Each structure stands twice: as structure tokens, then as C-alpha cells.
Amino acid sequence: MRCRLLLSALAAIATAADPPVATSYDYIVVGSGPGGGPLACDLARAGYPTLLIEAGTDQGDNPTYADMANFNEAANDDATRWDFWVKHSDDPARELKFEHMTWDSGDGTFYVGLDPPAGAKQLGIQYPRAGVLGGCAMHNGGVCSLPQDDDWNIIVNKTGDASWEASKMRKYLKKIEKNDYLAAGNADHRYTGWLSTSTSDATWAKNESLPMTKILKEMARLTGQNPNDTANLVNRDILGAYTNKDELTSFFSMVQHADKSGKRSSPNNYIRATLADPAKYPLTVMLNTLATRVLFNTASGSTPVATGVEIMQGGSMYKADPKHVPGSKGPLVQLAAKREVIVSGGTFNSPQILKLSGLGPTAELKGFNITVIKDLPGVGEQLADNYEGSVLGLGQVPVDGGLITMMFRTNATAPTKKRNIFTWCGAFSFEGFWPGFPTYYGPNQYTCAMVHMSPKSQAGSVRLRSADPQDVPDINFNFFLNNGDRDLAEMVEAGELLRKAWQAAGAPVLPFKELHPCPGTNAGANCTDASQAEHYKLQAYSHHASSTCAIGADDDPMAVLDSKFRVRGVKGLRVVDASSFPVVPGAFPVLPTMMISAKAAEDILADAGTR
């Protein structure tokens, strides 16, 4: 049968009072982002009645979200924004040195900075997430890149499951991709999947008089590329299948999950297409619905079995939602899953849901009087993220040209032969996240932003504040806690290289007035390695959280999942989202998460005849 899309804010298909079309489904998927949304569609398309639960609304027709160029506005829009106020360390004094620390001014406004007004309440460091059909793929910048092979192979090494070998994972990219930027026939890609991928025009690189082209050529020289071939190198396929790709320092095209007209392509599109398909796939979507816990049968047999979920109905029920009304609560309803429950709430909410359901560290659960279903010490631990930073300055005139995208290895500090920095440079500013970001410094602004790949520390945590499912958990990334000096040295070396490349812009752009990390017009002389490392340590930001419900080995007490995404110690429950990765998957996790969603669907359907 064909089930309805419930409570769509734009389509107004149903009202808040409408009950679910059915009270029992084969599969219930919690969370419609890059992990859960496509998975629910795949299960329904295989013929299994599937319920997809989303706490937010449907903004698929809203240009703020549908047009990729509006991604900054989308991330700031309180129609979907969830504010997680996180910490970067356990040191309160260090936290207060973060230049974009955010405070509640007490008058309905935020203060961002180091000198809050009297009486302001410290909130923390903003980490925006999206409560919306399609998840964070509806408000991000859409950047697509692939993990390093080691990021896949580590799962093989931990679990012995050869299906995770890097050479075998590309098929999931090909399963989902609708390539809009390469001529048909490229065997490394697919042209008929649900996820459109496209690139922007890079013909500007042929104009050697542009300041950006001069910087481009200098970046090529500094990284061992051919400066005379940069106009071609900027079009190199970042999703290509290259021999020893992880050791390839090169410029690349900036691929986004958008079609060639600039329209965002995300799980939202796939969900809508599944609901509208004449095949009448059995997919039900419930919006404005907060999952509060997973339900278990503990009476029959020695192993608890997930039997469904409890939900709270109503809009803005979660306190991370800026529209949440204090004290508001919706009715609680229990829904049954005949086969499995799949939690795909993301790196913050998936461990929260598991803990509220009785799965997690025993001491933490007992501290909130939560009945322990299974002691899983790793739930909410090993939080990981890429470190991000930037070199930002102002030219004397605008730095004309396009966007430079490059992955490279810092020669002096990289621990292996593999690339460790993803950078993109252009006439923009990006310094992290805070209410109202980014700062516009005028037409002469120029930034090289960078993502540090393969961070050596993943010592963060997501822990409950209470047993109330509406509460936001306590999130501490513990940046640079382990081997931090090594990661910082790599970031400093990368920044130095990018700064050197700037100097090729020539007149009339020069001299650059650098804003950070080395303020001034003679930055190289005014800044030491130590001062730059201190800057990145205090001001690094992130938005690629992972690993709080990690896949791991049978004998690893911190492993939450097996290689088939099954939660250890119980039956009928899986977690499929970025929290599943043992390590941060490359430079941008959105595409890898959609790839593992396709893998999870394959694994679940293979098990469909068993419980």
C-alpha cells in the first residue's frame, strides 16, 4: 500500500492531530538524514512497510534549502536549525578564549565574542545541526569527497568483514550517484542514481592575468604540481578512482551534491520521489515527531529484542530547536516494528537515544535511574571530528577568480605518505559557526579554509544531562587532547604554505592584511610556529562529528556495533549514520554516510528472513 507523508509544513498533507497510518511496520527508521533517509527508501522500495521518523519539517520546496547557493542562510535559519552548544575542552579558561563563544544576552539576542555584557549566560560553542526532512544534507555546503582507503579498511582490520574493503566500497557511490559533471560512459561513476553530483565552472583558471590564477600556479609550485597545467588540474575529478589516490597531492574540482542548475540534491529528494512513485512503495514519513526511546522485549530469551519506538508528537519538542517553548510536551505514542529498528539520529542524537533506551555505560544510566538493558561503555564515547581552521586576509583590491580546491600532504609534519589537508581558497570568509555566521569583511576578503584529515585524537564524548528525551546532551570534543602537538604542527605547516602562495597575487592585490592566524601585513615576520599553533588550538572549529556508536571488534569493550551495524548485545536494532564510523571518514562525511546507508540497506535486506 502507499502511505502518506504526514505533517508536511509546506505541502500541508496532514494535520498535527493525524495518527500514523499504521501502528506496526516491518522497519522503523529514526532520523531522515544521510544515513536514515536513503535507508528507509531502500527498504520500502524492496517491498517492506517502513516508517521514517523525523523531528523536523519538510523544507524541500523552500529556496533557502533547495538552492545550494543559500547554504549559509539555511544553516542560520531557525525554521530548521538545532543549536548544540558544545565544549572543546574541560578547561573553562581555555573555552573563554574562543573568539566566537556565544552567550544569551537575556534580552532575546545572542552575544558572540570575548567581552559579554553583564548578566549574560554562557551558552558555548555553536554546533549547528538541522531538524528537517533530509537532515544536515539540507543545510550544508554540499561538498563531496571520499574517505581514505584506510578509513574503510580499518573496519576490515577490526572486524574481519571483507565487505568493507576500500576496493569494494566504491560500488555504493555508483549505486546512489547521478553524475552531472562527466560525460556518460565513465565506468567509475553512475548516471541514474538518486543523488545528483555537479561541479562549478573553472574556466577562470585559463586567465593567467587573474590574481587567483597567479595564486593557483604558486600553490602548484609549492606542492610539486605542474604550474603550466593548472587550468586542467582544477578539473580533476575529486571522486575519481586513482591508483594510490590517498597519496595524490593535486587540485580538484569541487563536487557538490547538487544538480547542474544548482538545486540541492539530498535524501529529501529521494524520500519525496519514493513517496510519489507510481509503484506505491510502502513508506510512511512522520514529521514533527521526536523519538524518545527504543522499546525492548526482555521477557523472552536471554537477549533483549527491539520491538519498536516511543515517540513524542508535536513541533519543536527538542530543546536544541530555537523555537522550543519551555515546558511544552507532546503526547507519547508507542509504535511497533515487526523486524528491526534502525537509529539514524546522527552523532549526537543516536547515542542519546541509545542511552535513554538503556544501552550505554552502566554507571551513567544508573545515575539517571534508567533501567540498564545492556552495558555498552562505548556509547557516546570516542567522539571524533576533523580539525578546521583558516588563513584569512584582506587584499588591497578584490582577489578576482574562482574557487581553488586542493588536497595535499604537509611534507615536514605528515606522519605518513598520505594527504592530510583539504583546502579551498577564494574570495569568501569562513571561520566556523556562531549565530549569524559568517562575518563579511568586504569585497577584498580572501580565505584559504582547511580541513585536517585523519586527526589523531578522538577523545570527545556525548553524555546525558538527564533522562528527559527533550534535553540536549553534554557534548565535549576534547580537541587536541591526544597527540595534539602533532596535529597542530600539520595545521601550522599547511597555513604557512597557503600564506606563501598568497604572495603570488601581485599588484594591485598586495600587500595582504592578514587577519588570522598572523595579523598584519608582514605576517611571516610577525608570527611564530608556536603562536600559530596556539591560535589553531584555541580557535579550531569543526562540523564533521563521528564515531560515538562505532563499529568495532568482538573483543573491544568500546565497540557499539558489529560490521553489519547491529547493536551489540541486543537483537533487532542497528545504528546507521556518521556515529557508526570508527574514525572520521576523510575530509567531509556526508557522501561516505550516504554510501554506508546503501551498504546497510544491502546488509539488512540480506538478513530480512531472520531476526
pLDDT of residue 181: 97
pLDDT of residue 609: 65
Q: 576, 600 in Cβ contact below 8 A?
A: yes
For every residue of 90-150, DSSP letters joined together read S-HHHHTT-TT-EEE-SSS-EEESSSPPTTPEEEEEEEEEE-BTTGGGGTS--B-----HH
pLDDT of residue 301: 80
pLDDT of residue 521: 82
At a CB cut-off of 8 Å and minimum separation 6, what does 272 contact?
A: 5, 60
Q: 34, 271 in Cβ contact below 8 A?
A: no
Classify domain 201-253+386-459+478-539 at the CATH class level: alpha beta
Given a cut of 70, the residues of the chain with pLDDT beneath it are 1-23, 523-524, 609-611
pLDDT digits (tens, 9 = 90+) for 140-191: 999 999 999 999 999 999 999 999 999 999 999 999 999 999 999 999 999 9
pLDDT of residue 23: 61
pLDDT of residue 233: 98
- What is the separation, in whole angstroms, between the first and last Cα of the chain? 24
pLDDT digits (tens, 9 = 90+) for 95-149: 999 999 999 999 999 999 999 999 999 999 999 999 999 999 999 999 999 999 9
pLDDT digits (tens, 9 = 90+) for 246-269: 999 999 999 999 999 999 999 999
Q: State the span(s) of the chain assigned CATH 3.30.410.40.
A: 201-253+386-459+478-539
Number of helices and strands in the chain (H, E):
15, 26
pLDDT of residue 180: 97
Cα 446 to Cα 512: distance, rounded to the nearest angstrom: 9
**pTM for this prediction:** 0.96
* Annotated binding residues for FAD: 132, 140-143
pLDDT of residue 500: 96
Residue 312's identity, in one-letter code, is M
